[in-house]
Amino acid sequence: MKQIRLLSAAAFLAATLPALAEPAPAEPKVLADGADAKSKRVENLHQARFIEIFLAARDAKTGTLVAACYNTLFTPAGIPASRDTAPQALVERLDFDKMKTEFGVLNASLNGPKLWLPNWTEIETGVERDFNGIKAIWVAQLNMGDNKGGVGETTPYKPVTIARKSGLGWNKGTKVALLDDADGNTWIMKGFQLGLKPQHTYDEFLAAGGGQFKKLPAGWKFRIITLEKDLIETPEGGVATIMADEFFNVYDKTGPGMSNYKP
């Protein structure tokens, strides 16, 4: 009987040890696309059309959900004469399920199409990827928190952090859209959402003013100003705080740790 028990134990160990020895799933290669990023400056960006593509996966070291971010504005090709780096026909043909399989990620999602609102950007760029004819380059890694559905399911007015070694600049005389929150923070609109089926132009949105906001938290205010001096954003420690509104326009926090002043 003792020999049978020993044989049974040996059989159990033989069956379980290979499973225990299996290596952890490899981290998708895209999470290393910013490893050798190099800084560049791009001018004349105000109201250039772009998209961002997010590829989300678990960080191998921390287990947290992060997303590599790719932007069409900052590729070596530069800004075309049309100022459109994401042609509508190509955007409509993007296959995000195919991206998940191709890049081995948990989720692939779209931000935009949008208009970029800063006048210039200094940004670190990494690996360029081709997404079914649209070329976009790594620019940042987003902390997704508990959001498993992609950037399209971001909660409005909920700040998130993004690892982004970049500088953004709005020139004196530029008209900007701002949100003041109930804690005294001011947020500047960085990206105006067009979407696949635009409902209004940027100028029409500004003209509609704060009355169009239906989900703005209590104590928050939307306003539009013309800058009286250059606004320069350089996130402290390479980590920016951003958020989306109910229209999926994207804002960056201003003030200490983010910009040279709070407008």
How buried is 102 (Cβ within 10 angstroms: 0-12 exposed, 13-18 middle, 19+ buried)? Answer: middle
Average pLDDT value for the chain? 87
Ramachandran sector of residue 44 (left: φ over 0; alpha: ψ -120 to 50; beta: rest):
left
3-state secondary structure of 46: coil
Judge whether residue 142 has pLDDT over 90: no
Which sign, positive or negative, has the C-alpha torsion 53, 56, 59, 65? positive
- Give residue 12's pLDDT: 34
- Give residue 55's pLDDT: 96
What's the distance, Cα to Cα, between the start and end of the chain in Å? Answer: 82
CB 103 within 8 A of CB 22: no
Judge whether residue 242 has pLDDT over 50: yes
Nearest 5°: the CA angle 195, 37, 176 is 40
Q: What is the 8-class DSSP label of residue 212?
A: G
Long-range contacts of 19-23 (CB under 8 A, 24+ apart): none
Q: Which residue is it, tokens 């999470």?
A: 31
In this prediction the pTM is 0.82
Q: How confident is the model at residue 25 (pLDDT cuts 50, 70, 90)?
A: low
Judge whether residue 195 has pLDDT over 70: yes
Instruction: Report which of residues 221 and 148 the model is more confident about.
Output: 221
Helix, strand, coil percentages for the chain (3-state, nearest 5): 20, 40, 40
Q: What φ, ψ does residue 155 adopt, rounded to 5°?
A: -75, 125
CB 251 within 8 A of CB 243: yes
